[in-house]
């Protein structure tokens, strides 16, 4: 553990201020940490590190400074006011729900807490920050990695190397979770042949909490202490144990600290074991069998999938999983639970050899959601194996498009501009006329803000490049040359993300002659700042990084192209605040959402992107630029590269350099104003969380409370209903339908033999797929008289008004129960033969 120096009584508020990660987005205390140790603050931007390393003498000096103490007291008061002030959730929904547990394999809150690898973690961090701002009763559940994600170092040849500095928990802004009677909270987990202790830490994120689990306890074996050593370990069994720690250990943490929690939000499938553990805990407490408990808890589980390709889901060999599920089965202590049944939750009939964590998450959730409109469409195809014979359009996968926590990404200048226009509370309580207010900003104010942002980026990039070259062993002349890289007055492009094939980070390098002509135009010059990491095992991604660095070292590109190493949250903030245009080139439709381009919006940056993810659902020519053919469902590299060059050469660059007599690009600024006004509020995480609350959490809560009230009678009844339907479904029969023309309508009738199924447990429907300019149609039949000579057979009828021929329509039978979430909870379906 790392101890703090002795803090004088008059400065006691320092500890709480340093531990509250609100400093990652509220910069009101920045002056304080600079006052303690300016050099350390500039190097770390981490108040906890500053406080741990400041000298006792410096603290004594400041404690004697009344002006410093008064300003510290003001900060302490502002912190209390933030926690106590009225908030959106409380004012709008009161105590509508008792708690939301947000599970994620990674959380990206700050470079000072390196527990993230990319967009998934950054989204999770923005989610927690926004929950704090809006007053949602949210807490996060994640893992505390001993090494976390790697730091990138580039050698003199431009080759990526990975370093894994040890994450000392005491050196991070964390505290142990201490229970009144038992001390440090340690969750026991039964793994094959032993019990592993999981230690729980906590981070304060304003009003929200983040609980982090790790296994580096001296009572665990050396191997088990290393379960939480690495983020995204390549060893399959260790990865499986991590996900058991996250899901099972995470839900036990919920039970220990927030037992009334109602919503469990699983951010990607890594934490899916939480749905099993939640059901097991309820079964023990309520004396239900496991399956009844699963039906009772399922509406309280939400699953967000971020994966655009099925191959990217976490899968484990069924044989490997068997021994771990055996431990869960023993803990359930329920004779209705068999290992094969638990395994089936993550399998399909066509694949019994592997266990798919996303399948488990979907089957255990009341709602499954993609992260953009296009991704929802893609996900319905990915999850269709769980809904055999159901039309893809009816696979129950919706979407809530991601957003970003705007205060974490705006520059000082942008923040001032938005504050003047829309007020200080604009992201916690957005004014109804926010778009109109920001549209009224003057060209002079916008252009001054953009000039300052670009200048700051150039200065920081030059310093970073010099440090980079110095560390690679280059001579002093080469290092000094970094001071001439970039120009604060020319069009600046930004490209930063993970380097991997589908993101096509080298699309701009497709035609170097044309790229050189674009960047080297003397009258309309362009420059680009590039950053990104490749996964350690991704050799192709590493090769693409080297290709960019080799380009940047060529004399004709040296001042126009730079690659900055070790892309992390801190570098990402600098880039999105400073660039004029953010370039995004994924291979459509492989970008589930992509939030990096959202982060430039508040800063007056513009987007030039393939129409994938979020850009596909919002793009118009007035707010940015699209690469490639919007009508095509997929991407072609050569075609998209030519499109990118064309867009830059004939649209972006001319507009940036089209200046009036005062030297101001009026058309460019009109586009910035339109982008800021139309897009920034829509793609803020404030909108995202409000949407989750009002369209997902609260509607599901009604089902959850119905199933967990009155002695769990509804949950018990639903389980019995589902069992009976599955048992008797094969005895359903649909007879030949009859279409009789009557005036402008069709009289449709069909005999249906229900066997042992009660008539009220199903719906008989007439279905027509979309086609020929017609939408999909699903119409309910009305049950008529019993059919003489049959057992439980009825004639179903409806009147059909349509211009479509009868051949377009098919009769089907589907389950029905007013309290079930269908077809998600019971995907049975029978079509007429």
- The Cα 98–Cα 258 span in angstroms is 9
Band (428; pLDDT cuts 50, 70, 90): confident
Last residue of a domain, one of 84, 113, 143: 84
Band (632; pLDDT cuts 50, 70, 90): low
- Name the domain count of the chain: 4
Kindly state whether residues 620 and 526 are assigned to the same domain: yes
- Does residue 299 lie within any of the structural domains? yes
Side-chain half-sphere exposure of 490, counting CA atoms within 13 A: 18
Question: What pLDDT sits at residue 674?
Answer: 95
Kindly state whether residues 603 and 673 are assigned to the same domain: yes
Tokens of 457: 């980026």
Q: Is the pLDDT of residue 774 over 70?
A: yes
Question: What pLDDT sits at residue 253?
Answer: 98
Mean pLDDT (whole number) for 480-506: 95
Query: pTM (2 decimals)?
Result: 0.95
**Per residue in 34-90, pLDDT tens?**
999 999 998 888 999 999 999 999 999 999 999 999 999 999 999 999 999 999 999
Question: What pLDDT sits at residue 325?
Answer: 80
216, 25, 27: which is closest to 108 by C-alpha?
25
Kindly state whether residues 319 and 448 are assigned to the same domain: no
- Does residue 432 lie within any of the structural domains? no
Q: Is the pLDDT of residue 482 over 60?
A: yes
- Between these two residues, 633 and 442, which has the higher pLDDT value? 442
- Does residue 172 lie within any of the structural domains? yes
- Does residue 248 lie within any of the structural domains? yes
Kindly state whether residues 542 and 601 are assigned to the same domain: yes
Kindly state whether residues 644 and 774 are assigned to the same domain: no
Mean pLDDT (whole number) for 163-173: 90
Tell me the helices (H) and strands (E) count for the chain, helix number first: 33, 31
> CB neighbours of 556 closer than 8 A, spacing ≥ 6?
516, 520
- Cis amide bond preceding 823, omega within 30: yes
SS (H, E, C) 33-72: HHHHCHHHHHHHCCHHHHHHHCCHHHHHHHHCCHHHHHHH
CATH number at residue 722: 2.60.40
Kindly state whether residues 47 and 139 are assigned to the same domain: no
Mean pLDDT (whole number) for 696-702: 97
Q: Is the pLDDT of residue 667 over 60?
A: yes
Last residue of a domain, one of 53, 84, 115: 84
Question: What pLDDT sits at residue 332?
Answer: 61
Instruction: Report H helices in 619-652.
Output: 637-647
- The Cα 398–Cα 373 span in angstroms is 8
Band (434; pLDDT cuts 50, 70, 90): confident
494 forms bridges with which residues in the sheet? Answer: 529, 582
Strand positions, DSSP E, 175-323: 175-176, 178-179, 183-184, 186-191, 194-205, 208-214, 263-267, 301-304, 315-317
Kindly state whether residues 604 and 561 are assigned to the same domain: yes
Question: What pLDDT sits at residue 633?
Answer: 57
Q: What percent of the chain has pLDDT over 70?
A: 98
The conformational region for residue 495 under phi > 0 = left, psi -120 to 50 = alpha, else beta, is: beta
- 540 and 499 in contact (C-beta within 8 Å)? no
- The Cα 348–Cα 332 span in angstroms is 23
Q: Is the pLDDT of residue 2 over 70?
A: no
- Between these two residues, 359 and 233, which has the higher pLDDT value? 359
- Does residue 818 lie within any of the structural domains? yes
Q: Is the pLDDT of residue 673 over 80?
A: yes
443, 465, 448: which is closest to 558 by C-alpha?
465
Q: Is the pLDDT of residue 479 over 80?
A: yes
- The Cα 513–Cα 405 span in angstroms is 39
- Does residue 352 lie within any of the structural domains? yes
Band (333; pLDDT cuts 50, 70, 90): low
Question: What pLDDT sits at residue 328?
Answer: 65
Q: Is the pLDDT of residue 1 over 60?
A: no
Kindly state whether residues 679 and 700 are assigned to the same domain: no
Q: What is the mean pLDDT of the chain?
A: 94
CATH number at residue 525: 3.40.50.2000
Domain that holds residue 238: 99-402+692-708
Instruction: Report H helices in 475-612.
Output: 476-481, 512-519, 539-552, 569-578, 596-599
Band (629; pLDDT cuts 50, 70, 90): confident
Kindly state whether residues 734 and 702 are assigned to the same domain: no
Question: What pLDDT sits at residue 358?
Answer: 97
Last residue of a domain, one of 36, 53, 84: 84
Q: Is the pLDDT of residue 392 over 60?
A: yes
- 175 and 15 in contact (C-beta within 8 Å)? no
Q: Is the pLDDT of residue 527 over 80?
A: yes
- Does residue 679 lie within any of the structural domains? yes
Angle between helices 273-286 and 290-297 (to 10 degrees): 110
Mean pLDDT (whole number) for 506-534: 96
Question: What pLDDT sits at residue 433?
Answer: 85
**Per residue in 110-142, pLDDT tens?**
988 999 998 999 999 999 999 999 999 999 999
Kindly state whether residues 657 and 786 are assigned to the same domain: no
Kindly state whether residues 753 and 630 are assigned to the same domain: no
Band (329; pLDDT cuts 50, 70, 90): low
Kindly state whether residues 503 and 359 are assigned to the same domain: no
- Does residue 436 lie within any of the structural domains? no
């Amino acid at each position: 553990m790392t101890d703090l120096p002795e803090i004088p009584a008059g400065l006691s508020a320092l500890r709480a201020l340093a531990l509250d990660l609100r400093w990652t987005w509220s910069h009101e205390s920045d002056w304080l940490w600079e006052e303690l140790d300016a050099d350390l603050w500039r190097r770390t931007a981490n108040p906890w590190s500053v406080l741990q390393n400041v000298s006792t003498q410096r603290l004594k000096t400041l404690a004697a400074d009344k002006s410093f103490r008064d300003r510290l007291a003001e900060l302490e008061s502002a912190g209390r006011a933030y926690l106590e002030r009225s908030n959106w959730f409380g004012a709008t929904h009161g105590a509508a729900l008792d708690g939301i547990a947000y599970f994620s394999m990674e959380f990206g809150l700050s470079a000072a807490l390196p527990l993230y690898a990319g967009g998934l973690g950054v989204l999770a961090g923005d989610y927690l920050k926004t929950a704090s701002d809006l007053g949602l009763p949210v807490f996060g559940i994640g893992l505390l990695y001993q090494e976390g994600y790697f730091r990138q170092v580039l050698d003199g040849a431009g080759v990526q190397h990975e370093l894994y500095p040890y994450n000392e928990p005491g050196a991070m802004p964390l505290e142990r979770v201490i229970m009144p009677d038992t001390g440090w909270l340690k969750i026991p987990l039964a793994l094959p042949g032993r019990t592993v202790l999981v230690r729980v830490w906590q981070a304060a994120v304003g009003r929200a909490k983040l609980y982090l689990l790790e296994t580096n306890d001296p009572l665990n074996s050396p191997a088990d202490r290393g379960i939480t050593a690495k983020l995204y370990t390549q060893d399959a069994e260790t990865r499986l144990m991590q996900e058991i720690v996250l899901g099972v250990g995470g839900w036990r943490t919920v039970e220990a600290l927030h037992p009334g929690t109602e919503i469990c939000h699983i951010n990607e499938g890594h934490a899916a074991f939480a749905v099993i553990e939640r059901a097991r805990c309820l079964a023990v407490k309520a004396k239900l069998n496991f399956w009844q408990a699963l039906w009772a808890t399922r509406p309280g589980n939400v699953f967000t999938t971020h994966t655009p390709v099925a191959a990217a889901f976490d899968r484990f060999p069924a044989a490997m999983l068997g021994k771990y599920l055996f431990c869960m089965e023993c803990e359930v202590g329920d004779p209705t639970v068999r290992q094969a049944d638990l395994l089936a939750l993550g399998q399909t009939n066509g694949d019994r050899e592997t266990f798919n964590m996303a399948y488990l998450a979907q089957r255990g959730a009341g709602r499954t959601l993609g992260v953009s409109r296009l991704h929802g469409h893609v996900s319905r195809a990915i999850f269709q194996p769980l809904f055999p014979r159901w039309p893809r359009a009816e696979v129950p996968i919706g979407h809530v498009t991601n957003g970003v926590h705007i205060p974490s990404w705006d520059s000082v200048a942008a923040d001032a501009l938005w504050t003047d226009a829309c007020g200080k509370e604009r992201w916690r309580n957005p004014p109804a006329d926010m778009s109109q207010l920001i549209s009224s900003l003057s060209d002079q104010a916008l252009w001054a803000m953009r000039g300052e942002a670009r200048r700051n980026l150039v200065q920081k990039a030059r310093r970073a490049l010099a440090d980079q070259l110095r560390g690679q062993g280059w001579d002093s002349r080469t290092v000094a040359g970094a001071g001439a890289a970039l120009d604060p007055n020319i069009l600046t492009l930004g490209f930063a993300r993970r380097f991997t094939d589908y993101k096509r980070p080298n699309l701009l390098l497709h035609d170097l002659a044309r790229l050189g002509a674009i960047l080297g135009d003397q009258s309309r010059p362009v420059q680009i700042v590039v950053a990104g990491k490749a996964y350690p095992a991704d050799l192709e991604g590493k090769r693409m990084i080297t290709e960019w660095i080799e380009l940047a070292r060529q004399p004709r590109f040296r001042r126009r192209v730079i690659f900055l190493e070790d892309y992390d949250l801190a570098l990402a903030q600098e880039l999105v605040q400073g660039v004029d245009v953010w370039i995004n080139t994924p291979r459509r439709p492989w970008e589930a959402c992509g939030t990096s381009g959202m982060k430039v919006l508040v800063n007056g940056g513009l987007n030039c992107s393939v129409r994938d993810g979020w850009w596909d659902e919002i793009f118009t020519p007035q707010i940015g630029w699209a690469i490639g053919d919007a009508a095509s469902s997929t991407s072609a590299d050569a075609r998209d590269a030519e499109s990118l060059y064309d867009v830059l050469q004939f649209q972006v660059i001319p507009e940036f350099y089209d200046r009036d007599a005062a030297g101001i690009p009026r058309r460019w600024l009109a586009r910035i104003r339109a982008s800021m006004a139309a897009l920034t509020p829509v793609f803020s995480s404030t909108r995202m969380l409000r949407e989750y609350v009002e369209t997902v959490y609260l509607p599901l809560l009604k089902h959850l409370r119905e199933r967990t009230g009155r002695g769990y009678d509804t949950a018990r009844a639903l389980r019995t209903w589902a069992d009976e339907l599955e048992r008797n479904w094969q005895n359903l029969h649909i007879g030949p339908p009859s279409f009789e023309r009557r005036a402008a309508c069709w009289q449709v009738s069909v005999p249906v033999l229900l066997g042992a199924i009660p008539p009220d447990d199903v719906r008989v429907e007439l279905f027509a797929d979309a086609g020929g300019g017609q939408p999909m149609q699903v119409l309910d039949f009305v049950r008529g008289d019993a059919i003489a000579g049959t057992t439980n057979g009825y004639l179903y009828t409806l009147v059909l008004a349509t211009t479509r021929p009868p051949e377009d329509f098919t009769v089907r039978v589907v389950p029905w129960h007013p309290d079930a979430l269908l077809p998600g909870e019971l995907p049975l379906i029978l079509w007429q033969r």
